Amino acid sequence: MTLSKRFLALLVALGVLSIAGAGVGTAQTVVGVTATEIKIGNTNPYSGPASAYGTIGKAIGAYFKKVNDEGGINGRKINYISLDDQYSPPKTVEMVRRLVEQDQVALLFQTLGTPPNSAIHKYVNEKKVPHLFVATGATKWNDPQHFPWTMGYQPNYQTEGRIYAQYVLKNMPDAKVGILYQNDDYGKDYLKGFEDGLGDTAKKLIVLKQSYEVTDPTIDSQIVNLKNSGANVFFNITIPKFAVQAIKKANDIGWKPLHFLNNVSSSLGTVLKPAGLEASKGLITALYMKEITDPQWKNDKGFLDWVAWMKKYYPEGALDDQSNAFAYNVAILMTQVLKQCGNDLSRENIMKQAASVKNFELPLLLPGIKVNTGPNDFAPIEQEQLAKFNGEIWATFGELVDASKK
Amino acid sequence: MPSGGGATSKILGLVVVLVLACALPFLMSGFRVFQFTQVYIYAIALLGLNILTGYNGQISLGHGAFYAIGAYTTAIMIDKWSIGYGWTIPTAGILCLVVGFLFGRPALRLEGLYLALATFSLALAVPQILKYFEHWTGGSQGIVLSKPKAPWRLPLNEDQWLYFLTLAILIVLFVLARNLLRSRSGRAIVAIRDNHIAAEAMGINSSLYKSFAFGVSAAYTGIAGALSGIAIAFVAPDSFNVFLSITLLTGVVIGGLATISGAIFGALFIQFVPNWAQEISKAAPWAIFGIFLIVFMYVMPHGIAGFLRLAWIRMTRPTVTGSKAAGEARP
């Protein structure tokens, strides 16, 4: 009697074990997902030197609030946990480990900054946590062979640099190019893309390169040097503060080169207006988003929807800050990926769906630019279009340049 | 303090703390183990800074620079020359000792706040200098490392191994610091703080000992930086901004100036309080942190270590501090 009971118990135990074993064998890892919730982790610089970017993390939270108010995704609400990393890599490591190991998030989304993401790159790939649509313009996030759990988002700086180079080669083959760049990874990435794009002719065409530190008060002397070098093409790799100075100074000293302004500083509201719309005439840039301070979009549906959402869900956010438009776009993309996942929210499937976005349009991308990813393409946005400032708006011209087709 | 009963209970207390410290990585999640490893790393740096600021009376706002030098020494040795990480830690310490000593020589002509400014410039300059030597330092992209695995087939994961490695180094450095501060040199260092003219009159070479204190202090901080580079497995100029130096000084003062155990309390404070502040208010975490800071300074004017010592004395000698004794003391 007791023996048969024991035998039964053993059988049951074996049964349970084999089921558990089978479960382990085929299993997909589902973490941070319940019948009513999906946990998403994020780090952003809410304090410290880069805290101006913190609005991206807040705006994303505001967008997920809208998604939740409308019933969530397949009945699941998004639980968005965003922590301050102060743009300090050791802090990012600590916060991301907290999100992954303690809060048990399903995935990481839009962690911000090149150094912070570099610090967690290996860790998230060892832990096999989806690390999606990181907020940095560096080139290294599109590497699915070595880092199958990390995916970029925006067009990278090198691609943009190459686009300007192609324009120069086509339209001004005997140009004399002067370059002003910020002395850090951002400036050097642009520079590298541009020089690569010019290829063998780079040495011949580039007559002067000038750099500045982000802490410098002014770049006036660099502009004077560039003018004196006789350059007739100017590639302006500066952040908004210095872009304003450069456009003004060049105008003041009567230097009128073909002026390429990097996308980073293409805002009408924060750069061109302060620099003077007349002085800004003729600037060329490469765009992938609708510039929200550009009046040509004032009746655009995507823009109006964005304004309505801002007013309802993020009233404290600035309507002339392109970062808030950036956050809106990328949060919509994240929502789309989760919708595509259906009811299979395993980490494997989240990654698989993130890598199968096809011709998806975001409301604040330029018309015609589409998000595309694939198992070997972890660079979601790779199209850009050249635009010339005509004194009122950025008028796009030419065809969409697709960096994925070289 | 060296009385019989006090000493045994002190040793007993230390043993209990040590046993707890050794048990901790087996009771907590990897993330917590990592956090405590950070605490020990900070504690080493704070002890270094405390030798300078607490014991020798020199204020430094630039120890983040030595932390950075330590971290980069390790990272460059591992990344460029494939040297075992074990060798890089003492190298970082020795290099920072030399740099600290050399910086201390001219800097000691500056007193008090002027020295603070001079060291502050060091904290400001180092992240930018790191960007210039891009070939070595990887510029602002930094250097990515791999976390070391436990040697000798120890049944420890990477977090646990780093924890014990850091703990061991911490204990060695604490014992060394204790012995140093109780030696002839230690008394000279403290004498200079208390009255450098009197100290010099007694034949103490003030400038030599000040530089020496600066060097030792830098060496401790450099070793902490090296360990941090290994634990984070990534170094970049953004990791070592000015704020790090200020945080270290905050930790020393909160922990307790001129106390050895204060380094641990200060490290716990700078590791965990900012996180709590963020939990309390996402909108203004640093305002909350500021409130914590003021409360601590107000309640514990001699730092956490000083507060605990006072509490301990009161608890163990109830008769002395009782109402009767207090009544007798009044005229």
- What separation in angstroms does the CA of B46 have from each of B22, B135, B209, B250, B309? 22, 31, 20, 9, 19
Cα(A164)–Cα(A145) distance, integer angstroms: 29
> Which of A49-53, A101-105, B205-209 is the least confident region?
A49-53
Tell me the mean pLDDT in the region A370-394. Answer: 91
The tokens describing A314, both together, are: 């993020």
| pLDDT in the model for residue A8 | 53
Tell me the mean pLDDT in the region B130-134. Answer: 80
pLDDT in tens, B98-117: 998 888 887 777 777 888 88
pLDDT the model gives residue B6:
65
Q: What pLDDT score was predicted for residue A23?
A: 41
**Domain parsing of chain B, residue ranges:** 27-146+157-242
Q: Does the pLDDT at position A229 exceed 70?
A: yes
Tokens of A49: 């030197």
Contacts of A94 (CB under 8 A, 6+ apart): B34, B35, B38
For residue B328, pLDDT over 50 is answered with no
A3 vs A344, residue with greater confidence: A344
| Cα B290 from Cα B277, distance rounded (Å) | 9
- What residue of A is the nearest CA neighbor of B243? A48
CATH of domain A157-287: 3.40.50.2300
State residue B122's pLDDT score: 87
* Closest of A303, A299, A247 to residue A270, by C-alpha: A247
pLDDT per residue over A251-286, tens digit each?
A: 999 999 999 999 988 888 888 989 999 999 999 999
- Tens digits of residue pLDDT in A1-35: 455 555 555 555 544 444 444 444 445 788 888 88
**Residues B236, A119: C-beta atoms closer than 8 Å:** yes
The answer to whether B135 faces chain A, any CB pair under 8 Å, is no
**Does pLDDT of A337 surpass 50?**
yes
Q: Do B232 and A119 touch (CB under 8 A)?
A: yes
Query: What is the average per-residue pLDDT within A322-339?
Result: 93
Residue A271 is classified by DSSP as I
Give the pLDDT mean for B186-208. Answer: 84
Can you say how many angstroms the Cα of residue A6 is from the centroid of all Cα atoms in its chain? 61
pLDDT at A20: 43
Over range B279-300, report the average pLDDT.
84
- The yes-or-no verdict on residue A377 having pLDDT over 70 is yes
> Cα distance from B128 to chain A (closest Cα, Å)?
9
Which amino acid, A351? M
DSSP at A36: S
What mean pLDDT comes out for the span A102-120? 91
Q: A157-287: same fold as A37-155+300-383?
A: yes
Residue A237 pLDDT level (bands cut at 50, 70, 90): very high
Which residue type does A333 have? Answer: L
Q: Which residue of B has its CA nearest to A98?
A: B31
Is some CB atom of chain B closer than 8 A to the CB atom of A377?
no
- Packing angle, helices B63-81 and B85-107, rounded to 10: 140
Residues of B in contact with A47 (CB under 8 A): 285-286
pLDDT (tens digit per residue) in A182-220: 887 788 889 999 999 998 888 899 999 999 887 778 999
Q: Pick the residue with more confidence: A76 or B23?
A: A76
Is-contact A378 A144, C-beta < 8 A?
A: yes
Please answer whether residues A186 and A157 qualify as being in contact, where contact means their C-beta atoms are separated by less than 8 angstroms: yes
Nearest beta carbon to residue B139 from set A121, A123, A185: A185
Measure the CA–CA gap between B54 and A49, rounded to whole angstroms. 30
Average pLDDT over residues A276-299: 91
Position A4 scores a pLDDT of: 57
pLDDT at B12: 86
Question: How do residues B49-80 score in pLDDT, each as one tens digit?
Answer: 999 998 888 888 989 999 999 999 999 998 88
Q: Roughly how many angstroms between the first and final C-alpha of chain B, as a whole number?
A: 29
> What whole-number distance in Å separates Cα of residue A390 and Cα of residue A261?
14
Helices (H) and strands (E) in chain B, counts: 16, 2
Q: State the pLDDT confidence band at A404, using cuts at 50, 70 and 90.
A: low
Instruction: Tell me which residue in A89, A100, A188 faces B236 most closely, judged by beta carbons.
Output: A89
Position with higher pLDDT, A287 vs B279: A287
Q: What is the pLDDT of residue B248?
A: 92
User: What's the confidence (pLDDT) of residue B313?
Assistant: 84
> Cα angle vertex A272, ends A268, A275, to 5°?
155
pTM recorded for the entire structure? 0.81
- Sheet strands (E) in A252-342: 258-261, 284-287
Residue A68 has pLDDT above 80, yes or no: yes
The conformation of residue A232, written as its DSSP 8-state character, comes to S
Confidence category of residue B5, pLDDT binned at 50, 70, 90: low
Cα–Cα distance, A85 to A155 (Å, whole number): 24
pLDDT of residue B201: 84
- Average of per-residue pLDDT across B228-249: 88
B124 pLDDT higher than 70:
yes
- CB-CB under 8 Å, A119 with B234: yes
More confident residue, B163 or B131: B163
| pLDDT at residue A253, rounded to an integer | 93
- Extents of the domains making up chain A: 37-155+300-383, 157-287
Instruction: Kindly determine whether residue A94 and residue B34, on different chains, have CB atoms separated by under 8 Å.
Output: yes
For A199, counting Cβ atoms within 10 Å of its Cβ (0-12 exposed, 13-18 middle, 19+ buried), the class is exposed
pLDDT at position B233: 87
* CATH label, A37-155+300-383, candidates 3.40.50.720, 1.10.287.1260, 3.30.1780.10, 3.40.50.2300: 3.40.50.2300
Q: Tell me the C-alpha distance between B116 and B59, whole Å.
A: 5
CA-CA distance, B21 to A385, in Å (whole number)? 59
Across chain B, mean pLDDT equals: 85
How close A185 gets to chain B, by Cα (Å)? 6
Q: Residue B319: pLDDT band by 50, 70, 90 thresholds?
A: low
Interface-testing mutation among B126, B163, B239, B271, with chain A (most A C-beta atoms within 10 A): B239
A344 touches chain B (CB under 8 A): no
What is the C-alpha to C-alpha distance for residues B262 and B268, in angstroms, rounded to an integer? Answer: 10
pLDDT of residue A280: 93
